[in-house]
Amino acid sequence: MAKVYYEHDGDLKHLAGKTVAVIGYGSQGHAHALNLRDSGVKVIVGLPPTSASRAKVQAQKLEVLSPAEATQRGDVVVVLIPDQVQQAVYKSDIAPNLAPGKTLLFAHGFNIHFKFVVPPPAVDVVMIAPKCPGHRLRELFQEGIGVPALLAVEQNASGQAEQTALAYAKGLGSLKAGVIRTTFKEETETDLFGEQTVLCGGVSALIATAFETLVQAGYQPEIAYFECLHELKLIVDLIYQGGIKYMRYSVSDTAEYGDYTRGPVVIDAHVRETMKKVLADIQSGLFAKEWMGENAQGRKRFLELRSKAAEHQIEKVGTELRKMMPWIQTSKEEATAAQAQARR
């Protein structure tokens, strides 16, 4: 069983007299900065002088400095900028200002695990990764509710790395819910695998392939959209609430029988083998190298893939059909994320 930490395992005294420098003020950054501040921790924020987010930080009466100055002043330096820019910002702004005894804290293990960022041995390297989007982390904190998180220690130069991470998790509110011990390797590899095979890649390809199959067989695209995409939310909500078993309890017996007998025909032994291959490419570092290379070369292929996917018939049909359902509104969280995406 996984090791889980709770409220009594962490003590904010391990952050007393220390300054937490949060680099980045996006989805995770603003939530970490504000939750810790409200927990009585001294927080400063590091952002480039040109960053549009600077005004938001100042509106919260938090001090905002450049990433380099914030690193210099911080005892705990929290790297909450997009994963694909961490290597460059680490090299130019963070590394030159990292003195021995400081703690580097990440919310995802990608750059440390794949060695795009290699901190000096005299620095502690830890991870606290909350298991929800930043805006939810902040909202729930304000309601007095904690969000589960993962904890990992990669370097423990001070001998205090775990205590520092636990104090940080307490400040975020996460110890109220429980914090699960993992490693940078496990968190990084499972995170990539989940998003590639199920959450983003697998689900999108499953939806699109099923939609295309129906349309090519002569069914109307509008009907295919409802059956293969729209209704997915109802099913996922049930699974989220009570597991796959609860979803099966809620659907008709016909749907349940089709699930048992046809699901494994679609997701067959071939898919299992393919998943192993996808996992192997993650474990070997091939995927990470490919993605960082893509960024280094200006993201041409990535942007082409993005615009090609956006032109798929399912998107056009969906845009029209959603006008019939005005109650499907973009949440504040999604709108913020979409805007952040557009600005990048």
| Catalytic site positions | 108
Element at 86 (helix H, strand E)? helix 83-89
- The reply to whether 28 sits near ligand NAD by the rule CB under 6 A is yes
For Mg ion, which stretch binds (CB under 5 A), given 4-12, 191-199, 218-226, 254-262? 191-199
For Mg ion, which stretch binds (CB under 5 A), given 50-58, 183-191, 208-216, 293-301? 183-191
3-class secondary structure, 317:
helix
Site string for ligand NAD, 127-146 (x = CB under 6 A): --x---xx------------
183 neighbors 165 (Cβ within 8 angstroms): no
- The reply to whether 191 sits near Mg ion by the rule CB under 5 A is yes
Using the Cα atoms of residue 129, residue 135, residue 136 and residue 142 in order, give the sign of their dihedral: positive
The DSSP bridge pattern shows strands 124-130 and 42-46 to be unpaired
**Minimum CB separation from ligand NAD for residue 291, in Å?**
13
Contacts of 122 (CB under 8 A, 6+ apart): 100, 101, 157
Q: What is the dihedral of CA 238, 239, 245, 251, to 10 degrees?
A: 40
Quick one: 47 or 177, whose CB is closer to Mg ion? 177
Quick one: 79 or 247, whose CB is closer to ligand NAD? 79
99 neighbors 124 (Cβ within 8 angstroms): no
- The reply to whether 285 sits near ligand NAD by the rule CB under 6 A is no
- Find the binder of ligand NAD among 25, 184, 211, 225 (CB under 6 A): 25
CA distance 77 to 100: 12
State the residue number with the nearest CB to ligand NAD.
Answer: 26
The contact set with ligand NAD (CB under 6 A) reads 24-29, 47-48, 51, 53, 67, 80-83, 85, 89, 107-108, 129, 133-134, 340
The contact set with Mg ion (CB under 5 A) reads 191
